[in-house]
């Protein structure tokens, strides 16, 4: 029975996944689901109808997770597949208990945030023997539309279909990171070019995500390496650059290993050494003395016309980490490993005058003799590894992280993040001159602007109920003169509801 089950599952897997992948055609083959497809989903149907259409079911039924299974009226075609297409929620997914037997995983695993792909086959109840028709059940889950798209693409190209063990990836929530500073890489003196390549690749990878405001080297007010910075220095950099996180590569090791082999390039010429000729002559003389006839007319060739050269195969490996550090706590938000190697080859040039007579045995032995040793770092190979690995970090964030969405999650003018943005207090407010505790010691500059943000309640006009509380800019100041510890400012903007007062906290724009 188990053998028959495995055969059937393998057939289903081949039809749904492998056949189209091998053929190089559409993602899903025509009539991949020959029957009725039930989609249990909390997503908008229109956004995923194209994906469902690629399955080519005979009938499609869309229901919500709260719909009881027994309430569904089945069409004439038999049930072929139940697809749970779910967007995970912080509070969990409310799934009607009648769907529990169909789930490939325990309902408790539908947690947040994560992506998941799981599948199995279900034997219809009431059948005494495990005979068809069976139907496939599949869970595809992600916390947002972008990661759902990534997970769908991953689901249809899996070569190792997750029947026994679901494919599950925890998702990193980075939506609070509106701005990131890309710092110089941490690398030893001999790794300098690698560090520069990793830094450039990291900056490009963050820019390409189009989710963060990325601050590069030209704006950095530091010269020390990120690895040796104290928490206070990290916070200070975050305040100066107005970012919530610092990103940098930390390269711990880079080396090249050479495997050298003596090889021979031969030509179609063979010869006889003097030793072999003398042995043959002595043997022929002995036969002649004994009155015997030596059938062999000439000595066996033991020389070949060849030129030796050295063939070298280099294996270059680089190890390290990409780190994203929270400036408020000084602790890593995430680390991504850099660990890869590449191989390259080179060999000596063989010239015509390098050819000599060599013993055939020496040529055969030379092709098998190798020597392995550490050699000077193959810098270009190592740089290529750094670029590739750091670029894959950007792809990792795109596929495994919840990122800010420009225009939706990101607001250009928004109040500061606690513990990150530069703040100042009002020391004096006499007429139009305002003094704040922000001077040269804190890198103040003329024309800097500070704002006071106030809460504003938005109410329902009919019921008076507060729908949402937002932050609005009530007061804005511009720095006119900078002193050692203080600055003189002028009032640029002030609302009627709020008056500037001593002790009020302002935020650097």
Please give the average per-residue pLDDT across 310-314, as a whole number: 92
Q: pLDDT-based confidence at 357, cuts 50/70/90?
A: very high
CA dist., res. 96 & res. 327, Å (int) = 43
Q: pLDDT-based confidence at 31, cuts 50/70/90?
A: very low
Residue 3 has pLDDT above 60, yes or no: no
pLDDT > 90 fraction of the chain, expressed in percent and rounded: 27
> Could you tell me if residue 218 is inside a domain?
no
pLDDT > 70 fraction of the chain, expressed in percent and rounded: 84
> Could you tell me if residue 365 is inside a domain?
no
Spatial CB neighbours of 503, under 8 Å, sequence gap ≥ 6 = 425, 426
Q: What are phi and psi of 276, to 5 degrees?
A: -70, -35
pLDDT in tens, 267-279: 888 998 999 899 8
Tracing tokens 């279909």 back to the chain, one arrives at 161
> Could you tell me if residue 385 is inside a domain?
no
Q: pLDDT-based confidence at 397, cuts 50/70/90?
A: very high
CB-based contact 419:230 (threshold 8 Å): no
As a three-state string, the secondary structure of 327-377 is: CCCCCEEEEEEEEEEEEEEEECCCCHHHCEEEEHHHHHHHCCCEEEEEECC
CB-based contact 238:321 (threshold 8 Å): no
Q: Kindly state the tokens that stand for 18.
A: 């492998």
CB-based contact 401:171 (threshold 8 Å): yes
Q: pLDDT-based confidence at 165, cuts 50/70/90?
A: confident
> Could you tell me if residue 474 is inside a domain?
yes
pLDDT in tens, 187-205: 877 788 888 889 889 988 9
Residue 479 has pLDDT above 70, yes or no: yes
The answer, as to whether pTM is greater than 0.85, is: no
Tracing tokens 């030793």 back to the chain, one arrives at 275
CA dist., res. 62 & res. 38, Å (int) = 6
Averaging pLDDT over each range in 185-189, 215-219, 359-363, which range is the top one? 359-363
Q: Is 186 helix (H, G, I), strand (E, B) or coil?
A: strand
CA dist., res. 393 & res. 182, Å (int) = 14
Lowest mean pLDDT among 49-53, 78-82, 440-444: 440-444
> Could you tell me if residue 50 is inside a domain?
yes
**What kind and span of H or E run contains 399?**
helix 379-400
> Could you tell me if residue 132 is inside a domain?
yes
Residue 368 has pLDDT above 90, yes or no: no
Spatial CB neighbours of 244, under 8 Å, sequence gap ≥ 6 = 176, 177, 178, 179, 180, 238, 326, 327, 328, 417, 420
Q: pLDDT-based confidence at 126, cuts 50/70/90?
A: low
Tracing tokens 């060999």 back to the chain, one arrives at 347
Check residue 414 and give its pLDDT.
42
Residue 27 has pLDDT above 80, yes or no: no
Residue 433 has pLDDT above 90, yes or no: no
2 burial class (0-12, 13-18, 19+ CB within 10 angstroms)? Answer: exposed
Residue that terminates a domain, selected from 170, 200, 215: 170
Q: Kindly state the tokens that stand for 90.
A: 């912080």
Residue 441 has pLDDT above 90, yes or no: no
Check residue 405 and give its pLDDT.
72
Averaging pLDDT over each range in 132-136, 236-240, 282-286, 404-408, which range is the top one? 282-286
Check residue 464 and give its pLDDT.
81
Rg, Å, the chain Cα set: 36
> Could you tell me if residue 126 is inside a domain?
yes
The β-bridge partners of 450 are: 477, 508
> Could you tell me if residue 272 is inside a domain?
no
Residue 125 has pLDDT above 70, yes or no: no
State the residue range of the domain holding 442: 423-508
Residue that terminates a domain, selected from 170, 194, 227: 170
- Structurally, the chain folds into a number of domains equal to 2
Mean pLDDT of the chain: 81
Residue 185 has pLDDT above 90, yes or no: no
pLDDT in tens, 66-77: 999 999 988 888
Of 116 and 111, more confident:
116
Residue 151 has pLDDT above 80, yes or no: yes
Q: pLDDT-based confidence at 14, cuts 50/70/90?
A: very low
Residue that terminates a domain, selected from 170, 193, 228: 170
Spatial CB neighbours of 377, under 8 Å, sequence gap ≥ 6 = 190, 254, 255, 256, 316
Q: What are phi and psi of 158, to 5 degrees?
A: -65, 130
CB-based contact 187:179 (threshold 8 Å): no
């Amino acid at each position: 029975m188990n053998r028959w089950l495995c055969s059937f599952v393998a057939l289903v897997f081949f039809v749904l996944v492998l056949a189209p992948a091998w053929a190089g055609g559409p993602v899903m083959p025509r009539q991949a689901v020959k029957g009725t497809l039930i989609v249990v989903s909390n997503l908008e149907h229109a956004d995923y109808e194209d994906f469902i259409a690629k399955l080519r079911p005979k009938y499609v039924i869309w229901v919500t997770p709260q719909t009881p299974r027994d309430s569904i009226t089945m069409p004439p075609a038999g049930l072929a597949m139940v697809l749970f297409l779910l967007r995970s929620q912080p509070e969990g997914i409310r799934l009607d208990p009648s769907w529990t037997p169909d789930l490939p995983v325990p309902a408790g695993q539908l947690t947040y945030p994560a992506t998941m792909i799981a599948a199995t086959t279900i034997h219809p109840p009431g059948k005494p023997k495990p005979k068809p028709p069976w139907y496939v059940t599949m869970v595809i889950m992600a916390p947002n539309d972008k990661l759902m798209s990534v997970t769908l693409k991953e689901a249809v190209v899996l070569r190792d279909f997750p029947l026994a063990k679901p494919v599950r990836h925890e998702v990193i929530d980075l939506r609070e990171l509106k701005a990131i500073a890309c710092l110089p890489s941490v690398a030893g003196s001999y790794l300098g070019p690698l560090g520069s390549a990793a830094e450039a690749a990291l900056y490009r990878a963050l820019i390409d995500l189009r989710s963060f405001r990325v601050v590069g080297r030209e704006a950095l007010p530091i010269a020390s390496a990120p690895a040796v910075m104290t928490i206070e220095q990290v916070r200070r950099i975050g305040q100066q650059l107005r970012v919530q996180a610092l990103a940098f590569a930390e390269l711990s090791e880079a080396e090249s290993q050479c495997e050298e082999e003596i090889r021979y390039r031969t030509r179609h010429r063979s010869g006889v050494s003097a030793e072999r000729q003398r042995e043959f002559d002595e043997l022929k003389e002995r036969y002649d003395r004994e009155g015997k006839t030596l059938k062999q007319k000439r000595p066996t060739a033991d020389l070949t016309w060849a030129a030796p050269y050295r063939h070298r195969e280099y294996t270059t490996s680089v190890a390290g980490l990409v780190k994203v550090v929270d400036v408020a706590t000084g602790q890593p938000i995430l680390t991504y490993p850099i660990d890869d190697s590449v191989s390259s080859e080179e060999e000596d040039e063989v010239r015509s005058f390098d050819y000599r007579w060599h013993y055939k045995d020496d040529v055969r032995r030379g092709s098998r003799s190798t020597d392995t040793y550490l050699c000077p770092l193959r810098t270009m190979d190592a740089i290529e590894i750094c670029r590739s690995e750091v670029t894959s970090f950007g792809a990792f964030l795109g596929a495994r992280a919840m990122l800010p969405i420009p225009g939706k999650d990101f607001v250009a003018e928004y109040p500061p993040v606690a513990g990150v943005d530069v703040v100042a207090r009002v020391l004096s407010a006499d007429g139009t001159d305002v003094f704040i505790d922000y001077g040269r010691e804190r890198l103040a500059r003329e024309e800097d602007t500070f704002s006071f943000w106030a809460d504003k309640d938005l109410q329902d006009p009919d019921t008076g109920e507060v729908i949402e509380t937002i932050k609005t800019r009530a007061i804005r100041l511009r720095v006119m003169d900078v002193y050692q510890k203080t600055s003189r400012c002028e009032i640029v903007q002030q609302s009627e509801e709020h008056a500037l007062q001593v002790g009020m906290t302002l935020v650097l724009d």
